[in-house]
Amino acid sequence: MAKANGQLTEPQQKILTFITNYVEQNNVPPTIREIQYGTGISSTSMVSYHLKALERAQLLNRYERRSRGLVINEPHRVLLSDVVAVPLMGVIGASEPVPTPDADALAGAENSVQIARGLVGAAEGLYALEVKGNSMIDALINDGDIVIMRRDQEVRNGDLAAVFLTDRNESTLKRVYREGKRLKLKPENPTMKPFYVDARYAQIQGRVVCVIRKT
């Protein structure tokens, strides 16, 4: 279903974008079958499920007795310019390292996450990582969620950031605090304690700007 804070799931973003583009090109809304083919969603029943969620979120009206009875509500009309495709670069946790992606890596990423531009601002420097682990559950970031990151080597105390630990060959997502020549990396899980690392061996890879909950 659509998130209470206005954030949409990836299929819902795809559906809204597809409907908008279809109407602009054909002057009529698409059928459910056309939405299924156009978005790659597995079945028409799943399309209907997402349409109902979008209707509950008041992003569109659906007239079920008409085969082309979909109307996107103003002012929530979604255009291509309203959606950002963020490259999915890998996972973040405490196992496999995730190097800071350069421009070539971002351009060559095979998978991407669609997200409303209003949630993330400018697309430059954004990349997405899948979260592995439960160290950030009190920050409402759970195992399997997607975090949208912005490349940045400097963060403010308390920011959620991806940190690459060069001496351990690990990357981790934590709240970061600078304390002299070391960094305090704080989990958001009451069962886990903060730990400290030498700042010389810690590379800030980016800060979290948005979270996409797993469905």
Domains in the chain, please, with CATH? 10-78 (1.10.10.10), 82-212 (2.10.109.10)
Neighbours of 155 (CB within 10 A): 20
Closest CA to 10 of 114, 105, 92, 104: 114
- Specify the DSSP class assigned to residue 71: E
Q: Is 184 among the residues known to form the active site?
A: no
Q: Is 48 among the residues known to form the active site?
A: no
Q: Name the active-site residue from 14, 135, 171, 186.
A: 135
> Which pTM was predicted?
0.58
What band does 2 get if pLDDT is binned at 50, 70 and 90? very low
Q: Is the pLDDT of residue 111 over 50?
A: yes
More confident residue, 186 or 70: 186
Tokens of residue 118, six digits: 């209003």
- Cβ neighbourhood burial of 141 (10 Å; 0-12, 13-18, 19+): buried
The helix (H) or strand (E) run that includes residue 92 is strand 83-92
Q: What's residue 175's pLDDT?
A: 92
Chain centroid to Cα 167, Å, comes to 29
Q: Name the active-site residue from 14, 171, 174, 186.
A: 174
More confident residue, 41 or 57: 41
Q: What's residue 152's pLDDT?
A: 83
Q: Is the pLDDT of residue 40 over 60?
A: yes
What band does 5 get if pLDDT is binned at 50, 70 and 90? very low
Contacts of 74 (CB under 8 A, 6+ apart): none
